Structure 1
Amino acid sequence: MIMLLSATAWKRLPDVPDERGFAGSFAGVSGGSLIVAGGTHFIDKMPWEGGTKLWYDTVYALDKPDGEWRPLGKLPKPNGYGVSITTPEGLIIIGGGNATDHYTDVFWLGQDDKKLPPLPKPCAFMSGCLLDGVIYVAGGIETPTATAAMGTFWSLDLKQPNAAWQELPPCPGKPRILACMAGAEGAVHLFSGAALSAGPDGKPLREWLKDAWRYLPSKGWEKLPDMPRVSVAAPNPAPVIDSKIFVIGGDDGALVNFEPKSKHPGFPRSILTFDVKTQEWSQAGEVPFSLVTTNAVIWKDQVVVPGGEARPGVRSPQVWAAPLK
């Protein structure tokens, strides 16, 4: 049995050392330690009360599952809602932004001597994954006030010393933000997310998507069976175990207009599984937490979900982990 499908297999690790927690943080593994960096939360009021979202540059490290978080410097600037990629050489931070700007920056966390080329355009709220030493990044928005998602699909080959970002054919589906991505069995997989359009007030409206796609570097894009449900902002990149991709929770949009917002019950806790070989979806298992706009990190033979948004506007410092097998 794959352990993470059982709610009882998930255990709490030490909380991120901020009582409110963060959404949109970067997270991964560097030097053998679990890293959580940047992100946002509200400190005065909730967003529906006119609260102000604050961006952070703090970096924390956890050296062992029963240890204590320690400060590990700061990001170059406050940042959130970009892409985190863990490689054997460390953690790569890609794009993101703050309240007024989105970034093109791409860098190895804590390794100033290793430079990486910037993104072709500023980008946040995108998704990304690693496949065979190549980073892939899809979608997102170019500015904080954008009312349309980017249809971009970029790659960076880490195996090439002087590589530059390549613009690849975009996904044939609608441009989107907050999709779920995974690299598995020689293909990039792209699931769900939200398309954007301008509402009557000029603010972005979301269209909730449950389509699924894969990109084969040798062939291009192929349509996959639709997901059983929408899963926006599920932990990324989605973990892959035994040729199966696990989409953990995510926002299905069913309660987007729930009132009162202060009583929102949280996001779906079910786990969707995509079998890469049979190309079949199943819904089996659940998690004991409700966390979106966060990461799924493989660390010390566990899948770790460090913090995130527990319900609209509310962050969580909780860190959850389940054995890979």
Structure 2
Amino acid sequence: MPANGVDWHPAIPVGEPYWTQLGLAGPIAGAHGDHLIVAGGANFPEPALTATRANTLGKVYWTDAFVYSRRTGAWSDAGQLPDAVGYAATLSTSDGVLVIGGEGYRGGPGGTLLRPAERFADVYLLRWDGRRLHRTELPSLPRPMSYAVAGIVDGVVYVAEGADFYGLDLDRPDRGWATLPRWPGDPRTVAVGAAQDGRFFLLSGRAQHADKTWTFYRDAYAYSPRRRRWDRIADLPWCVTAGLAHPVGRTGLVAGGGDKDIDRWNLIERHVALRNAAPPGSAEWQRQNDVVTWIYDHHTGFNGELLHYDTRRDRWSVDGWFPGPPPATTPAVDWDGDLVVASGEVGPGIRTPRVWQASF
């Protein structure tokens, strides 16, 4: 992927030709015709500085947009989004890339240590005409949300996040979003979702509780629009939160990547609590911060195993491995049946600029 084009803060004192694309977590990514659109997203651009090392910007959300042409095999600069957006749900359609929600900053890039990111309720289509991106507005979500999952069944887009489930008829968008029955399981975020075999599938996810501990979910559900009913399907062998899912054939789903190491998450939270209880800058504060930093630095990567789900047999099986460091928090792009994975996060605070394509 090309480099971000905006050198917007003195804490990032480099520009072309030295500025390189670090990669983006939570990018807008989708296919429109013969073009792959990648835009927005977030990363940590200050060299070697992430969550536990003092930095100026924190996580930075971007406005840059890029387009890859399947015909020429080249990337093009597609200008800037009006807002810096990451962690939206995105879907590829014949009318453009559907963008649902997300979080970031109005009007331009921003960093989380400068001001908090805000969540968005925006819904729109991005379309590339060969020269520039066009944006078509659709009805806003009933509430702002990020890290949602979405899928389209029979012209209706379904979106799930937290404890909420909504639907929008793309043929009658004037009717707005309908609130639909929630799945018979716990609220969750950073789940995995996809449409297949006339149903919308909600897989895995995670939740943080009042005591800061985490639950990583292996349960999975399928929503039938025809019956307006959720069914619990076979549990996944492990959690795939922040991973991806892609339809295969008429009755298959491939799911994988993501994070299943709940013990590491809870260990981090314990040491964060000990750090927060110590006087800032004290020896104990620094010791606990060093422990948290060590855990982050020695992350071994996300889970590379791929799972296959048979919708007719209600059965999961292991179906191979991702061919490189598996990215998380990036959309699964359906490009004429192929799976495209653009950029993403390969470790805490670490992004990849690589783009993968697979045919099933």
Matches of 1:244 and 1:268, distance apart in 2:
20
Q: Give 1:228's match in structure 2, choosing from 234, 237, 254.
A: 237
Aligned to 2:256: 248
Aligned to 2:189: 177
Q: Give 1:64's match in structure 2, choosing from 63, 70, 81.
A: 70
Query: Do the aligned partners of residues 243 and 262 (structure 1) sit closer, same or farther apart at CA in structure 2, a change above 3 Å counting?
Result: same
| Deviations, residues 162-190 of structure 1 (Å, cap 9, x unaligned) | 23100001111111111111111111111
Aligned to 2:357: 321
Stretches of structure 2 lacking an aligned partner (at least 5 in a row): 4-19, 105-115, 128-132, 269-293
Matches of 1:134 and 1:315, distance apart in 2:
33
Q: Give 1:123's match in structure 2, choosing from 145, 148, 151.
A: 145
> How many pairs were matched up?
295
Matches of 1:262 and 1:206, distance apart in 2:
21
**Contact 1:180 1:238 (8 Å CA) reproduced:** no
Q: Does 1:261 align with 2:301?
A: no
Matches of 1:107 and 1:219, distance apart in 2:
26
More helix by share: 2
Aligned to 1:196: 208
* TM-score between the two structures when normalised by the length of structure 1: 0.85
Query: Do the aligned partners of residues 213 and 96 (structure 1) sit closer, same or farther apart at CA in structure 2, a change above 3 Å counting?
Result: same
| Deviations, residues 206-238 of structure 1 (Å, cap 9, x unaligned) | 310000111111141111111011100012x53
The structure that has the greater radius of gyration is: 2
Q: Does 1:309 align with 2:345?
A: yes
Matches of 1:117 and 1:223, distance apart in 2:
30
Deviates more, 1:64-73 or 1:183-192: 64-73
Superposed structure 1 runs of 4+ greater than 4 Å apart: 110-113
Aligned to 2:82: 76
Aligned to 1:12: none
Matches of 2:85 and 2:173, distance apart in 1:
27
Please tell me the root mean square deviation across aligned C-alpha atoms, in Å.
1.9
Corresponding residue SS for 1:230: coil
Corresponding residue SS for 1:239: strand
Query: Do the aligned partners of residues 287 and 22 (structure 1) sit closer, same or farther apart at CA in structure 2, a change above 3 Å counting?
Result: same
Aligned to 2:322: 287
**Contact 2:201 2:220 (8 Å CA) reproduced:** yes
Superposed displacement of residue 265, structure 1? 1.3
| Deviations, residues 22-80 of structure 1 (Å, cap 9, x unaligned) | 00111001242001111000022111224410000111100027622111122220010
Matches of 1:53 and 1:177, distance apart in 2:
19
Deviates more, 1:222-231 or 1:158-167: 158-167
Aligned to 2:27: 25
Aligned to 1:49: 53
Corresponding residue SS for 2:339: strand
**Contact 2:246 2:334 (8 Å CA) reproduced:** no
**Contact 2:33 2:94 (8 Å CA) reproduced:** no
Matches of 1:192 and 1:169, distance apart in 2:
18
Aligned to 1:36: 38
Aligned to 2:333: 297
Aligned to 1:160: 172
Identity value in percent:
33
Q: Tell me which amino acid in the other structure corresponds to 2:238.
A: R
* TM-score between the two structures when normalised by the length of structure 2: 0.77
Superposed displacement of residue 301, structure 1? 4.8
**Contact 1:228 1:283 (8 Å CA) reproduced:** no
Q: Give 1:107's match in structure 2, choosing from 124, 131, 138.
A: 124
Corresponding residue SS for 1:247: strand
Query: Do the aligned partners of residues 161 and 19 (structure 1) sit closer, same or farther apart at CA in structure 2, a change above 3 Å counting?
Result: closer
Q: Tell me which amino acid in the other structure corresponds to 2:187.
A: P
**Contact 2:139 2:173 (8 Å CA) reproduced:** no
**Contact 1:245 1:275 (8 Å CA) reproduced:** yes
Aligned to 1:89: 95
Superposed displacement of residue 126, structure 1? 1.3
